[in-house]
Structure 1
Amino acid sequence: MTETTIPEAELLALATQALTQGGMRQDDAALTARVLVLADLFGVRTHGISRVPQYLDRVQVGGIDARAEIQVARMAPGLSMVDGRNGIGPLIGMRALEAAMTSAREVGIGAAFARGSNHFGPILPYAYLAAEQGFASIIASNATTTIAPWGGKDTRVGNNPMGIGVPNPGGDPIILDIALSVAARAKIRKLLQQGEAMPEGWATDADGNPTTDPKKGLEGFLLPVGGHKGYGLAVMVDLLAGLLSGAAYLTHVQAWDKNPGAAQNLGHVFILIDTSKLAAPELLRERMADFAGILRSTPAAHPAAPVMAPGDREMASLHRQRREGVVVATAELEQVRQRAAA
């Protein structure tokens, strides 16, 4: 795969222009592009600018409203409800993040529930932006069903992403961003394209039998991380992000790849804590340095692979690519250029 290195600012401007040409208002496009470019900076390229054509293709067939008037209602001092009105997911995510931040600044903790949304990218960008302003975060979303209930053989639960972030004044935050399957479908698709076998334990075939054939794995369902525990976590994320928000849940969620012209009605939840109300930034910085030091100083089982804190690899990628430029697939960048020039 051919790759191209491009400065962050240029990539951000290009993605913003492509989304604007696709029907978004410029300010909304800039917020959306910010999430996607951050994903590429973190090295999460499956959720970066490669999603721009996907989002805009769904706009063209009526599956997403590029100019949706997102509505934010304050339900209580620490609680907001965001109606995405079938807009582009990262924009709805940013509006929910902003609403939760506003509440957290005022009362110490803020929650925003979002409905009427679509794929909103990875959690890392939102948790990172929150941490930059001193907020700890718990963020989650539901998703298209790809996991069977534990012991079942039909997909009823989404590979629902969840994340927890804690700020580190003056340094890198510690952020966990995970989905709840052993492996993402994108990884299985890549193995299929490369003609390689899939590791056992990633997925089953359509009858619930273990398989190492990526084609059969894509026809079947993903296995949850930690067995029944991962299944339980996926269910609880859907209850919070989907059911409580008023969004679709479980099998009511539309699959964008199978029915791109239908609204997904995904739900998200953002819970933010203003850490400055818990401890002075100097004290938090000191405690975070000690905490991270205990983890990273653990003797490594393999010296070439030192122990890391959650998010260390992504933070290293962010700093490196901000210095040297963002590495993206040339073909994906060309698609975005074409959309920007349309």
Structure 2
Amino acid sequence: MTTTLTTVPRQSEAELLALGARAFTGLGLRPADAVLVARVLVTADQFGLSTHGLSRIESYGERLKVGGIKARPDITVHQPAPALRQVDGDNGVGPLVGMRALQAAMDAAKECGVGVALARGSNHFGPISPYSLIAAEAGFASIIGSNATTTIAPWGGSDARLGNSPIGFGVPHPGGDPFLLDMAMSVAARAKIRNALKRGEPIPDTWATDAGGRPTTDPAAALDGFLLPIGGHKGYGLALMVDLFAGLLSDAAYLTHVKSWSDAPDEPQNLGHFFILIDTRRLGSAQWLAQRMRDFAAILHASPPADADRPVIVPGEIELGKLRRQRSEGIVLDPATYELLQRHAEGIAVAP
């Protein structure tokens, strides 16, 4: 019989990175690979994105144990052109494949000024903002995307044929906060709809459709239906663009060829990602970029807010503020996540 913790000690960044690395090593990853996975997930937690942070050890761990994800993949990088890299993730853990692809794109951009990496044979790789931050801190502007399991119907359609595929942008700011934008394609996450159902509240009819493809305010009907993309048909087109770059061009699965990790946890998803980087040091000095980035943010911040309690912000400011605070004060993980990490780290068998 297991007991669930009710209180969890506050963890420093170093402690979380070490715990995450030990836990993924306990699941069979090579120690160096586990460190890369932990880095992405811990940064997600520090950004306040707990649903995409170390809590992912539950779903990743389940798939690792049933063979749906390879613990020790043979990830390869092919160079078909000077600035282009093709990464075969060999069905590895998504953040590991993502970090390898990011490094490949950075290597290409260092050589050519721009670098593109297309990854296949991957899985859910966490949020985009940790990769964008790593790239920005190394001096690279970035456009990064991934495809995903189908949850959105084609515009005007009545069944799920494309994923809620995220895309992110990053621009470095030497000595200051980089610009970071990380967004998925749906108006609202399914978690928000589930929360509305628990509270017995209706949802806006712009969030989702019912199973017949009709907009609904009923959260139960929405959960049986499909998410609506941002911007209507424009968001639909943007979601397709992400899948074309991440899935089709990378030679990964795309649209309905992407397998659901929850419905088929023991089968490879073959997700794809893309990383497009620009080495900003080729464009000008650090002082030049810093001055322009300060001015860019100042123009936005100077706009009088419509609500005095909600000043204008630049994308990434909230997450980077949380990152600084959590690095200083530490993080208190969800008790169930902390206990699961401890058990994997200690090599204790976890019941399915």
Choose which of 252, 256, 264 in structure 2 pairs with 1:259: 264
Equivalent AA in structure 2 for residue 325 of structure 1 = G
- Secondary structure of 1:74's counterpart equals strand
1:3·1:328 contact (CA, 8 Å) conserved in 2? no
* CA 217–91 in structure 1, closer or farther in 2 if over 3 Å, else same: same
The answer to whether 1:281 aligns with 2:302 is: no
Post-superposition shift, 1:340? 1.4
Partner of residue 245, structure 2: 240
Q: Greater shift after overlay, 323-332 or 86-95?
A: 323-332
- 8 Å contact 1:73–1:80 — kept in the other structure? yes
In the alignment, is the contact (CA less than 8 A) between 1:321 and 1:327 conserved in 2? no
Q: 8 Å contact 1:83–1:115 — kept in the other structure?
A: yes
- Tell me the alpha carbon deviations over residues 282-312 of structure 1, each in whole angstroms, 9 at most, x when there is no partner: 0100000000011112111111111000111
1:199 aligned counterpart, secondary structure: coil
Write the letter of the residue equivalent to 1:206: A
* Structure 1 residue ranges without an equivalent (≥5): none
Q: 1:201 aligns with which of 201, 206, 209?
A: 206
Deviation at 1:190, TM superposition (A): 3.7
The alpha-carbon deviation at position 280 of structure 1 amounts to 0.7
In structure 2, do the counterparts of structure 1 residues 146 and 91 end up closer, same or farther at CA, with 3 Å as the change threshold?
same
Matched ranges for 1:3-152 at <5 A: 4=8, 5-152=10-157
**Which one is further off, 193-202 or 88-97?**
193-202
Q: Which one is further off, 65-74 or 111-120?
A: 65-74
SS where residue 120 of structure 1 aligns? coil
Contact 1:83 1:116 in 2 (8 A): yes
Alpha-carbon offset, residue 51 of structure 1: 0.2
Residues 218 and 89 (structure 1), Cα distance of their counterparts in 2 relative to 1, 3 Å cut: same
Distance 1:3 1:219 in 2: 36
> How many Å separate the matches in 2 of 1:34 and 1:158?
25
Q: Is the 8 A contact 1:31 1:94 kept in 2?
A: yes
Q: Deviations over 1:198-252 (max 9, x none)?
A: 3331111111122233332222100000000000000011111100000000000
Against the structure 1 CA distance between its residues 18 and 168, is the aligned structure 2 distance closer, same or farther, given a 3 Å change threshold? Answer: same
> 1:197, 1:61 → 2: CA distance?
38
Alignment partner of 2:312 out of 301, 307, 314? 307
Q: Which runs of 5+ in 2 are unaligned?
A: 1-5
Partner SS for 1:6: coil
Q: When the two structures are aligned, how many residues end up with a matched partner?
A: 342
Give the letter aligned to residue 207 of structure 1. G
Question: TM-score, normalized by length of structure 1?
Answer: 0.97
> Matched residues in 2 for 1:212 and 1:151: separation?
18
* 1:143 CA displacement: 0.4
Three-state SS of the structure 1 residue aligned to 2:145 is strand
Residue 268 (structure 1) aligned with residue 287 (structure 2): no
Corresponding residue for residue 332 of structure 1: 337
Q: Partners of 1:270 and 1:3 in 2: how far apart?
A: 39
RMSD of Structure 2 on Structure 1 (CA): 1.5
State the TM-score, normalized to the length of structure 2. 0.94
2:168 pairs with 1:163: yes
Classify 1:60/1:248 alpha carbon distance in 2 versus 1 (closer, same or farther; 3 Å): same
1:187 corresponds to 2:192: yes
- SS state at 1:328 partner: coil
Worse-matched range after superposition: 55-64 or 211-220: 211-220
Q: Cα–Cα, structure 1 residues 317 and 268, in superposed 2: closer, same or farther, change >3 Å?
A: same
Residue 132 of structure 2 aligns to a residue in which SS?
Answer: helix
Could you tell me how far apart the structure 2 residues matched to 1:71 and 1:194 are? 48
Residue in structure 2 matched with residue 296 of structure 1 by the alignment? 301
Give the whole-Å Cα distance in 1 for the aligned partners of 2:304 and 2:339.
44
- Greater displacement, 124-133 / 327-336: 327-336
Q: Aligned with 1:50: secondary structure?
A: helix
Q: Which moved more, 1:319-328 or 1:122-131?
A: 319-328
